[in-house]
Structure 1
Amino acid sequence: MTISANASAPLPTTLHIGMAKAGSSTIQGVLQTARETLAAQGILYPRDLLPNGSTGGDNQKCLAVCNTREADHFVLRQHRVRNPQDRARFNQRVTQLYTEQIAQARAAGAGLCLLSAEHFWSSLNSDRELGWLANKLRDVGLRVDRLVFYIRSQSDWLESKQHQSVREGAEPLDMSIAALKAQPFYQRLPHDHVAALWQAAFPDARFELRLFDSRDFVKGDLMSDFKAAAGLDADLPAAPQREQPVERRGQCDDPPEPAGPRGGPDHGRGLAAQARDLSGAAYAGPLRNADGARARRHRRSLRRLERAPARPVLSGS
């Protein structure tokens, strides 16, 4: 499939909000490997700015970090950003890099841009930062038409985080609620809050909310599922089998429930039930444009997640 578009119009864009430990690295690795193949099909997967001054990489972390309020972000330290003047130069270099790539892609007839970075999820945590990102994307010539967000049950996510700490020889996480609330990742675990922030920043974009669970994947394969979520009809290799999430036997108490029709009265309800925060409070209503029909079978799988007396607040101030 070859996608083409008007060379003077903003380039339609699908943005993958790369939640950590939810397949993001695998998706990005495949997209990086297939960068030239995608370009031949009219799809741009941009190169990012690297600390050595060259371009490349498997995701667009600098594009994300341009918009964070965190002055001492480790990506900024990698690029030797030490003061506001360095930060301004860094932002200018990133803007120029993406503007040039997008202009070249449009001139070559590209009709779609793909963006993916864990830092969209981990480094942009307020409506103000996401507003800055929306403005940045418009400035470089992009129009976000679709958001893809893979979520993982908070209990599974924390378990995976703990395993990573042990593998890397780090101090194991204190899993008490008081300790978890002090962790920088805590405010990003309420999926409904994160989804609402992104929907507010990109109100015209279709929102694809997906479960990171191999039982829910199209064809049981992460990349096939990502292609469906991103609306792609492109040639992409399958995800390495070792990167597929492990099926958790006995996770659900009940047998699978039949899926409701897409767009029907139950549309989005299954994933909305999954999008809980650590207080156990459910999202009040279906997420707009969320593809929840296939996920209804898992609506009870998060009843074992950790609970807290109060939910964290994401503020735009």
Structure 2
Amino acid sequence: MKKLVLHIGMAKTGTSSIQASLGQGSPLLAEQGVYYPDWKPFNHSFDFTVLFLEDPSDSIYYQQLSPIGDEAWQAELQRLNDQWRAFFSTPGEGVWIVSAENLGRLSKQGLAALKTFVEPFFDEVRVVAYVRDPLQALKSLWEQNVKELSDPMSAQALLRLTKRRQNYRFFQRWIEAFGRDHFVLRRFDPDSFAGGSLLVDFFQAAQVELEGELELPEREANQSLGDEGVALLLAMNNRYPLYRDGQHNTERGLSRRQHLFYEAMRQAGAAPLSLDVKFNEEEAERFNLKISYLNSLLPPGEQFTEVAASEEETLLPDASQVPADYAVELINNLSQLVDQVADRCDHLQRKLQALEEEAEKQGGNADGDQG
């Protein structure tokens, strides 16, 4: 029997760690009939989800490739289509795994297209999702929204927007598409992971049985930028948005390599983001409806606690209060990055000069031989 496991996240539930572990361990897994693509990126949010969007050009993948012509874009979509069909067509029985946290956000039409795409290859499809405590998830989602902010917005306005947009009802589309018996929602709680490991817990949720002790490289990823990093990033995104007109903002430094900037921030201050989120009465009522829906999908004893209303406003990180020590460390980390790039350029320049001198020498020898 061939089974497909669709891991649909959610965000900030160890998704990147699972993807890195499965991707790097794919050769060992394949020996046991468990298949995960060995190509990068191991996060399939880019090259798989895009195939089922109603407007594929409205995707991060398209933005990463921009500027790109219509013909080249259609050719790329066809390449991805062929790549996944070839992967799913691998002969034999076993389990195939796809992991993309943004799969969960597909529209009803997009989900129908995905189902039509995968069903001819598999006898069974199982959907696995992890969910954090909604209050903790809200903090991480706000931080992620700060990273992706494309239009100027205050920290408080972005938090209000994040509260409204945080949604779990999309799970119902997956339940309707594949059936309740094929949908598994797990609470993301490191203290309760099967075997004390996220990866072991994931295999259990996916109903994947491995023979013996398979040591895969578990990776931690996607760490918080901390209070200082988020405050500074919010100010930077308001002045130099990451995207402009659907494409990378050319005025933004490292716009195509933000992971380098985020790593420099994490090295400058490793303390995680700390927020005491407050809700007014209307916000608390809406938020508790979301918690109630999640609790209906979780086993008894794993329910989340509702939030209380407050007259206070959430105190958010402020760029004007970023400590000088943090700024010094961040500038130094970025300066080291510039040094590394400069060293590589110097190395390439010396190598190119040596090749040019060798070419001139060989050209001179050839002239002498002709003479």
Question: 1:225 and 1:241, CA in 2 relative to 1: closer, same or farther beyond 3 A?
Answer: same
1:149 alignment partner, one of 115, 129, 133: 129
The CA deviation at 1:228 is 0.9
Preserved CA contact (<8 Å) 1:64 1:120: yes
Alignment of 1:92-171 (within 5 A): 92-103=78-89, 105-106=90-91, 109-121=92-104, 124-138=105-119, 141-162=121-142
Q: What are structure 1's unaligned runs of at least 5 residues?
A: 6-10, 48-54, 246-275, 307-317
Following the alignment from structure 2 to structure 1, what is the Cα–Cα distance between the partners of residues 36 and 221? 24
The letter for the 1-side match of 2:216 is: P
Structure 1 residue 38 corresponds to structure 2 residue 29 = yes
Following the alignment from structure 1 to structure 2, what is the Cα–Cα distance between the partners of residues 147 and 134? 12
Following the alignment from structure 1 to structure 2, what is the Cα–Cα distance between the partners of residues 223 and 145? 19
1:21 alignment partner, one of 12, 29, 54: 12
Aligned to 2:288: 280
Instruction: List per-residue Cα deviations over 1:9-66 (Å, max 9, x = no partner).
Output: xx3101100211111000001101110011111111124xxxxxxx432132311111
Instruction: List per-residue Cα deviations over 1:86-131 (Å, max 9, x = no partner).
Output: 443233211211122222x21xx3411011012313xx34211111
Aligned to 1:74: 60
The letter for the 1-side match of 2:167 is: P
Question: 1:284 and 1:207, CA in 2 relative to 1: closer, same or farther beyond 3 A?
Answer: closer
User: Identity of aligned pairs, percent?
Assistant: 25
The CA deviation at 1:223 is 1.2
Following the alignment from structure 1 to structure 2, what is the Cα–Cα distance between the partners of residues 20 and 196? 18
RMSD, aligned CA: 3.9
Following the alignment from structure 1 to structure 2, what is the Cα–Cα distance between the partners of residues 81 and 128? 28
1:219 alignment partner, one of 195, 198, 220: 195
Aligned to 1:196: 172
Preserved CA contact (<8 Å) 1:227 1:233: yes
The letter for the 2-side match of 1:202 is: F
Following the alignment from structure 2 to structure 1, what is the Cα–Cα distance between the partners of residues 142 and 72? 36
Instruction: List per-residue Cα deviations over 1:217-262 (Å, max 9, x = no partner).
Output: 11332112111111122225374578899xxxxxxxxxxxxxxxxx
Structure 1 residue 208 corresponds to structure 2 residue 184 = yes
Question: 1:173 and 1:221, CA in 2 relative to 1: closer, same or farther beyond 3 A?
Answer: farther
The letter for the 2-side match of 1:134 is: K
The CA deviation at 1:179 is 4.1
More helix by share: 2
Instruction: List per-residue Cα deviations over 1:254-305 (Å, max 9, x = no partner).
Output: xxxxxxxxxxxxxxxxxxxxxx994421229844xx6x24xx14x2434359
Larger radius of gyration: 2
Structure 1 residue 89 corresponds to structure 2 residue 75 = yes
Structure 1 residue 303 corresponds to structure 2 residue 307 = yes
Following the alignment from structure 1 to structure 2, what is the Cα–Cα distance between the partners of residues 280 and 142? 38
Question: 1:278 and 1:143, CA in 2 relative to 1: closer, same or farther beyond 3 A?
Answer: farther
SS of the residue 1:56 aligns to: coil
Following the alignment from structure 1 to structure 2, what is the Cα–Cα distance between the partners of residues 171 and 77? 16
The letter for the 1-side match of 2:44 is: Q
Structure 1 residue 64 corresponds to structure 2 residue 49 = yes
The CA deviation at 1:181 is 5.8
Question: 1:243 and 1:80, CA in 2 relative to 1: closer, same or farther beyond 3 A?
Answer: closer
Following the alignment from structure 1 to structure 2, what is the Cα–Cα distance between the partners of residues 99 and 211? 32
Q: What are structure 2's unaligned runs of at least 5 residues?
A: 225-283, 311-371
**Most deviating of 166-175 and 125-134:** 166-175
Preserved CA contact (<8 Å) 1:68 1:129: yes
The letter for the 2-side match of 1:88 is: Q
TM-score by length of 2: 0.56
